[in-house]
Chains A and B, each alone.
Chain A
Amino acid sequence: MKTKMDFPSINERKPEGQGAGGEAYKVLIVDDSMFVKKQISQILTSEGFEVVGTAGDGLEGLEKYKELYPNVDFVTMDITMPKMDGISSLEKILEFDKDAKVIMVSALGKQDLVKKALMIGAKNYIVKPLDRVKVLERVLQSIK
């Protein structure tokens, strides 16, 4: 019986979510929607990224970032959340780590808030509904 080993590996490629040495990029997902957290998590883990933490609001996101640092490569950050919104959380994360890579996740129609986040220092943004290809493209642009 032929096994996988009998075939040439021309179709094999390294997952995008792994660095040169094969180590997974680590992400913290901050979003108050269980659905969006699950969606982002599925897209990223399917490409080899490692979800090292999730948070349901901006304040928890900030605390988790501090707790995980430096073992976190980037953050996906919702904008509208209870307790602390994504923009304030972004500001505070950047105060703590000026090199933090934060990618904003926003519903269409929040352009002004997205612009504000980019001015403050967010690396990129993703618009909902989430499209797998666009999510991966924006994430990779931001971390590489």
Chain B
Amino acid sequence: MRVEYINPFVEAAFDILKEVLGDDVQRGELYLKSTSKSVMGVAAFVGLAGNVEGRVLFDMSMETALAIASEMNGETLTVLDDLGKATITELANMITAQAVTKLHDLGFVFDLTPPAIFTGENMEITDNEVEALIVPVITKQGKIEINVAVRERT
């Protein structure tokens, strides 16, 4: 998978996370997964379809999701209720919307699905024939992994 697909998502995630959570956001080392990858507990999933296709996953632990949703709402959420899920969905929405603009500018044309939130334990994701590039982003609230598996449509 080409790195140019993931960069816009990482840049957008940085911009948006800094804006909603404060300046303390750091980038971890990028890594590649060609086999199944475990999912941490809360994952926002956005599908892409067009001349590139695949999906983006914003993956985090339940504790991180709750801390982020609490920070964004200005109140402590102890369970990931409808408001908490709507908050994480909106975060994924803002990041993907900004990333997509950058990708459109690079000439990639595709549509996005609305984000879906998956929650649970011992989940894993497998992408057949598409490698996933993963960039961990460290915030004060915890780690979010931006997991992008995209390929050009043939």
Report which A residues bind B (CB closer than 8 A). Answer: 33-36, 38, 42, 80, 107-111, 128-129
Q: How far is the CB of B143 from chain A (nearest CB, A)?
A: 20
Beta-carbon nearest neighbor of A128 in chain B: B94
Asked if A110 and B90 sit within 8 Å, CB to CB, the answer is: no
Asked if A38 and B73 sit within 8 Å, CB to CB, the answer is: yes
Q: Which residues of B contact A80 (CB under 8 A)?
A: 114
**Dominant secondary structure of chain B at its interface with chain A:** helix
- Given A109-B100, A109-B101, A111-B101, A34–B94 Cβ distance below 8 Å? no
Q: Which of B83, B98, B101 contacts A35 (CB 8 A)?
A: B83
Contact with A along B70-88 (1 / 0, CB 8 A): 0011100000001100110
Asked if A35 and B97 sit within 8 Å, CB to CB, the answer is: no
- Given A34-B83, A35-B83, A108–B20 Cβ distance below 8 Å? no
Q: Which of A33, A42, A109, A111 contacts B90 (CB 8 A)?
A: A33
Check: B89 CB closer than 8 A to any chain A CB: yes
- Given A35-B72, A35-B73, A129-B16, A109–B97 Cβ distance below 8 Å? yes
- Given A129-B20, A129-B94, A34–B101 Cβ distance below 8 Å? no
Bound together, the chains give a CA A128 to CA B87 distance in angstroms of 13
Asked if A38 and B94 sit within 8 Å, CB to CB, the answer is: no
Beta-carbon nearest neighbor of B103 in chain A: A109
Q: Which residues of B contact A36 (CB under 8 A)?
A: 86, 90
Q: Which residues of B contact A35 (CB under 8 A)?
A: 72-73, 83, 86-87, 89-90
Q: Which residues of A contact B86 (CB under 8 A)?
A: 33-36
Q: How far is the CB of A76 from chain B (nearest CB, A)?
A: 15
Contact with A along B104-119 (1 / 0, CB 8 A): 0000000000100000
Bound together, the chains give a CA A35 to CA B99 distance in angstroms of 21
5 A-B residue pairs with Cβ-Cβ distance under 8 Å, sorted by A, are: A35-B72, A35-B83, A35-B87, A109-B98, A129-B19
